[in-house]
A and B are shown apart, each in its own frame.
Chain A
Amino acid sequence: MTRNWKIVLAILAACVVVGLISLRGLHRRMARLAKAEVTEEQARHEVLAPPVSTPTDVPVKAQMFWAGGPDGLAPVEIELPLSADAQERSRQLLQALIANPPTPDQRTLPADVEILGFYILPDGTAIADFSDALSNETPSGILSERLAVNSIVRTLESNVPGLRRLKILIHGQEVDTLAGNVDLTGFFDLNPSVPQPISPTPPVAPRPSPSAAPTKAPHAPSAGTAPSKH
């Protein structure tokens, strides 16, 4: 019996030693992973932070929507160098919306927000990916959340022709609400007066030639919204 107990105790001691060794290794590995994540995040920010500029930038008068007016937003015309490429143009506009409100009281988006990505699908669907700051730092409330979303929507629809709807992501993910109230699970309609590209029946007309009549096919992107490649 004594011998058996000794064997059991020896096995238990061996298990404890093995556990301690593997625990230290696990700790070291987790610390390394955490460090790598931070580095990756920092690198991403370094790449994304500089102001967006492209060779096709032309100074134009852009209509920006910041806080003000009876319904919460007021148009402000500013001169901005904007790209001819719809995707870059949208990024530049959003960057200006975040960085250049005329006064602090007119700010609609938190100053720390970064644009992590902006993509345009061939059917005119835009996808804007913002950093966590958009949802963490936008004051909770229908008033402030509505203002934030509408300033994005109205600025894009006023300056980027051909966009039809917008999806807002936070750090690459779909989230339920912006800051507890405004629904981000759906798509926000842009330029609602433009005919919708989606018809209930499949298109039957043959594809028009480039020199065809000037009427645009409903889902054909306009010159300003060339399909973006990313």
Chain B
Amino acid sequence: MRNILGVVALALGISVYAPFAVAQASTQQEQQGNSQQPSAPAAAAPPAQGAPPTAPPGAGQQNAAPAPPVPAPAPAGPVIVLNPAHGGTDSGARGQNGAAEKDLVLRMARGAKAELERQGFRVILTRNDDSNPSYDDRAAMANGYRDAIFISLHIASTGTVGSVRAYYDQMSSPYVPPPDVAGAAAVAKPALSVVSGLTSWNDAQRSYLNASHRLADLIQIEVAQKFNGSGDTSLGAAIRGLRSVAGPAVAIELSSVSGPDPDTLANATAAPLADAIAQAVTAFRAVTPGGAKQ
């Protein structure tokens, strides 16, 4: 009897421990994977202020070949977090010829990253493959840096082909029940964020709405000059992907996947778009130094 109890206890022990052991092992594997992936900064510590721009991938392996001329290191600037929207099972907008937004924006983001790095900016991508990080994970990548600018890249289903529009978040209101619904006590009780001074994760963008609006305006001025048919002003919209970013955040949307050749369009857009972002970010930094809250 004692033996049977011992065996049962051992079996129970294994069944309880096993999931933890597997979870731990997978976490370790993920961390190793992240450390090997140059453009997956989720686990990376925020870079110190004044750190030089990140070297391009593979820079240290080019000992034999003559190195191409390296641009002079730019002064420490913000980290530009480029977010290729959608990914994985979420294709985003789909063109008639099968073009998927998720693939086109990834290609655009890679091209823009190379161009921005060539101009001396520090750039990270929220995804560099066909994965689909959650909105929170993408925001967390930007929020991990003290001075990040979040730029989400999209391609629309509609709109004038070749035009580009910058959007800032126009947050929808959180619901607060009126006194006659929730009772006076509930209304008299101040919100948690008021008491603690903490910002709600879902409301993180709220403190940066003015800065984001300013950045979107500057980007729109640039893209209006570079892309025919683009409007003169940026627009506000309740954009889910910007809501949790604690810093200046905009979405840039190219029209559209419904054009005759969206692949060529996306490829041709990357460099001028990066140029527009670079100029807008430089101007934005000039008028909004530092954290850019309000």
Contacts and interface: CB of A to CB of B under 8 A. Distances in A.
Interface of A: 70-72, 121-123, 125, 139-146, 149, 165, 167, 176-177, 180-189, 197-203, 219
A23 B4 CA distance: 36
A142 B172 contact: no
B157 interface: yes
Contacts of A146: 167, 235, 237
Contacts of B178: 122-123, 197-198, 219
A141 B93 contact: yes
Contact of B180 (A72, A177, A200, A219): A219
A28 to B, nearest CB: 33
Nearest to A219: B178
B157 A141 contact: yes
Interface string B117-150: 0000000000000000000000000000000000
Interface residues of B, number: 42
Interface string B230-272: 0100010111110100000001010110000000000000000
A187 B93 contact: no
B167 A180 contact: no
B132 to A, nearest CB: 11
27 contacts: A71-B235, A121-B181, A122-B180, A123-B178, A123-B180, A125-B175, A139-B156, A140-B94, A141-B155, A141-B157, A143-B253, A180-B86, A180-B90, A183-B172, A183-B243, A184-B238, A185-B240, A186-B173, A187-B172, A187-B175, A198-B178, A199-B179, A202-B187, A202-B188, A203-B179, A219-B178, A219-B180
A200 B92 CA distance: 41
A39 B178 CA distance: 39
A186 B172 contact: yes
Given A70-B231, A187-B174, A201-B187, A176 B240 contact: yes
Contacts of B188: 201-202
A182 to B, nearest CB: 6
Contacts of A200: 187, 190
A185 B93 CA distance: 21
Interface string B157-201: 111000001010001111111111100100110100000000000
Contacts of B256: 141
B212 to A, nearest CB: 14
A142 B239 contact: yes
Contacts of A145: 237
Interface in B40-93: 85-86, 90, 92-93
B217 interface: no
B165 A143 contact: yes
Nearest to B181: A123
Contacts of A143: 156-159, 165, 253, 255
B99 to A, nearest CB: 13
A141 B156 contact: yes
Given A140-B101, A141-B156, A142-B167, 11 more contacts: A125-B175, A141-B101, A142-B253, A143-B158, A144-B158, A167-B175, A176-B240, A189-B172, A199-B179, A202-B188, A203-B179
A229 to B, nearest CB: 16
A186 B171 contact: yes
Contacts of B173: 165, 186-189
B229 to A, nearest CB: 12
A167 B184 CA distance: 24
B211 to A, nearest CB: 19
Contacts of B181: 121-123
B113 interface: no
B213 interface: no
Nearest to B188: A202
Of the candidates A184, A189, A198, A219, the one having the most CB atoms from chain B within 10 angstroms of its own CB is A198
B179 A139 contact: no
A183 B235 contact: no
A142 B158 contact: no
B214 interface: no
Given A141-B154, A143-B156, A202 B240 contact: no
Contacts of A188: 172-173, 238
